[in-house]
Structure 1
């Protein structure tokens, strides 16, 4: 998920051409007979892609940074203000908010990288890249944990975390974070600030061969998207089947919510992973590559990655702000902090460990 540079993303000058003719060899040679034809062609110019990224990515990253920080910060503040009575869903949501905040905190660094160059050194390059991917994986896996928790509560009437020892949900979160750290090890090892003399710029990029890049992309596709999406789709499909049988206004609201949850995740991240899959197939030679197609794919990666990062800003809306009790507790917190001059009558939240962040949780704990 760390921003990538095309292997052909260079700016050529007249003096570079003799050097390229002598030293350049393509990764896409298909036999000895085609080598001369391949290697007689210059790398693709990427001026239009570079210009687009310089204009588009810093503005988008800055906007998502502000929205994600404010939204997820509000969720974390409200949850922490009620930490004595957090349910399992609340705990997962708190960790999800923390993951999203840590992810968007890296966006200004990537904005600088896209607009100018990487000026922060190799150490921060490794940390920022690993932090970004740790929280990318954590966001997806925590959503899967939430869906599995709801699935057990509604479909099987088994409240694994609610009636068990509190350490269970904590242990689950520790396992999730540990797995995400393991998945981000390639970033800690292979990321570095690399100076390109012909570009006359330094960028934070992975330093491994094509095979390593393909393997890392497949890992992100499977562990960060396909598996969590399959878990959510299965769990919420079973939940919907139960909710459709037991009708009622509250359950209908829950049905709408679970559909929005899985659809939002799929819509935000599917385009990016499809574009990366196309780019990988082009790298492997399964799809034909030319300069026009390469430029389109590079621009598409920039646009769809921004759509994926937008999911971090949607999480507070999908999992928190749709809940009536969340709005009540948010108002109470603002009033307590002196940020609100008007008071209104509010029902005090119950002391039992019911989640107050979504209708799906309320429905599951109401005798469904």
Structure 2
């Protein structure tokens, strides 16, 4: 999703995608637009990476949805992972619109899809991080209050929490629907962010996404993980760390993938005040957006390669690996609940 700012374009201030570029339309030659993407090395690399992300993400998350939704017993644990997979799958379904725009450098899908396809990226960001926060809090509560958790954690309640998370994610994704627009100029149609109704709109949207979709979740997850680590150490449960590593990898992957994007978005806001190089910002945001998109296919990969021991991964099928990745976590923590509550065979099956 590119972002160019077209200043002095009529009476509007607009950003296309996420890169901030200034142009005066009186100096641009009126010539027929020709895409230059396939002639630029960086664009070709990002294009290839995007196609790979789209294909792997689509297939991998479809597989997770099939396994966790139809092949495994419905539990609180599978409810979390199914929701994560749906979020990433939806993103991958609409990612081809961005890839096509990247190749053609011309938006051909109309105003509605400009608004909708763009908002899907942020819907994926917010829904993913909210679900990761929910899982982290759930793990923390299960470790701190095992008896209460085994008596109150149900699939129905988990489903309600997931719905609430999706509603919040949709609400925070609405700015993309509101500010996204199209314009045709020089035989080229652009899908861009039009922040001309309020000079502070761009900063408000960017900081809201950064705080609600990155900083606040990071703080909550760090607190939860600190509590879990301290509790497990005092309970001598560090040997059963495989499920904890899977969840840690999912969280780390999200924050590492989205960090470059947020960094360059914040630099873009102060571009004029600090004279940041426009070319560096453009390249940084292009790469940052692609790295953020990569998170959509990393989750199923982590399920596969961290769900079983390295020596066993070639001996079992991909389906078995992914199922074990999700099931192992429930079996390990259920044993912990059983010990903590001193109730034989009454611990929750999945945490």
**TM-score w.r.t. length of structure 1:** 0.73
Instruction: Indicate whether 1:112 and 2:100 are aligned.
Output: yes
The equivalent position to 1:366 in structure 2, one of 319, 323, 335, is 335
Correspondences of 1:148-159 after superposition (within 5 Å)? 148-157=137-146
Q: Aligned equivalents of 2:125 and 2:173: distance in 1?
A: 10
Query: How far did residue 174 of structure 1 move?
Result: 1.0
- The residue that corresponds to 1:306 in the other structure is 290
State the distance in 1 between where 2:248 and 2:336 align.
21
Q: Which residue of 2 aligns with 1:240?
A: 229
Aligned equivalents of 1:298, 1:94: Cα separation in 2: 35
Residue of structure 2 in register with 1:28 after alignment: none
The structure-2 alpha-carbon separation of the partners of 1:51 and 1:242, relative to structure 1 and needing over 3 Å to count, comes to: same
Rounded to whole Å, the distance in 1 between the matches of 2:62 and 2:148 is 28
1:323-346 deviations in Å (ceiling 9; x for gaps): 349x8xx95969xxxxxxxxxxxx
Query: CA 1:115 to 1:9, structure 2 compared with 1: closer, same or farther past 3 Å?
Result: farther
Query: After superposition, where does 1:128-139 map in structure 2 within 5 Å?
Result: 128-139=117-128
How many matched pairs?
309
Check the 8 A contact 2:67/2:319 in 1, yes or no: yes
**Quick one: distance in 2 between partners of 1:263 and 1:180?**
20
Gaps of 5+ in 2: 7-19, 30-35, 338-351
Equivalent in the alignment of 1:297? 281
Q: Does the aligned pair in 1 maintain the 2:115–2:177 contact within 8 Å?
A: yes
Shift in Å, 1:191: 1.4
| Distance in 2 separating the partners of 1:82 and 1:297 | 45
Q: Does 1:95 align with 2:83?
A: yes
Could you say if the C-alpha distance between residues 277 and 161 of structure 1 is closer, same or farther in structure 2, counting changes exceeding 3 Å? farther
**After alignment, is 143-152 or 53-62 more displaced?**
53-62
Moved more, 244-253 or 267-276: 244-253
Distance 2:63 2:265 in 1: 33
- Mapped partners of 2:150, 2:236: distance in 1: 26
Tell me the CA shift for residue 248 of structure 1.
5.0
- Partner of residue 165, structure 2: 176
Counterparts of 1:86 and 1:159, CA distance in 2: 21
For each residue in 1:235-283, what CA deviation from the matched residue of structure 2 results, as whole angstroms up to 9, or x when unmatched? Answer: 1121112222333574233454444333322222222211211222225
Match of residue 200 from structure 2: 211
In structure 2, the residue matched to 1:35 is: none
After alignment, is 200-209 or 173-182 more displaced?
A: 200-209
Shift of residue 158, structure 1, vs aligned partner: 5.3
**In the TM superposition, what whole-angstrom CA distance separates every residue of 1:164-206 from its partner, at most 9, and x where no partner exists?**
4532111111111111111122222221222233xx4212112
2:15 aligned residue? none
Could you tell me how far apart the structure 2 residues matched to 1:230 and 1:65 are?
30
Shift, 1:128, TM fit: 1.0
Q: In the aligned structure 2, how far is the partner of 1:158 from the partner of 1:260?
A: 27
Partner SS for 2:275: coil
Residues 1:81 and 2:70 are matched in the alignment: yes
Greater Cα shift, 147-156 or 93-102: 147-156
Unpaired segments of 5 or more residues in structure 1? Answer: 19-46, 335-348, 350-354
Residues 196-226 of structure 1: CA deviation (Å, up to 9, x unaligned): 33xx421211222342122111111111111
TM-score by length of 2: 0.77
C-alpha offsets along residues 28-72 of structure 1, whole Å, 9 cap, x if unaligned?
xxxxxxxxxxxxxxxxxxx99x94664243222111001111111
Secondary structure at the residue paired with 2:215? helix
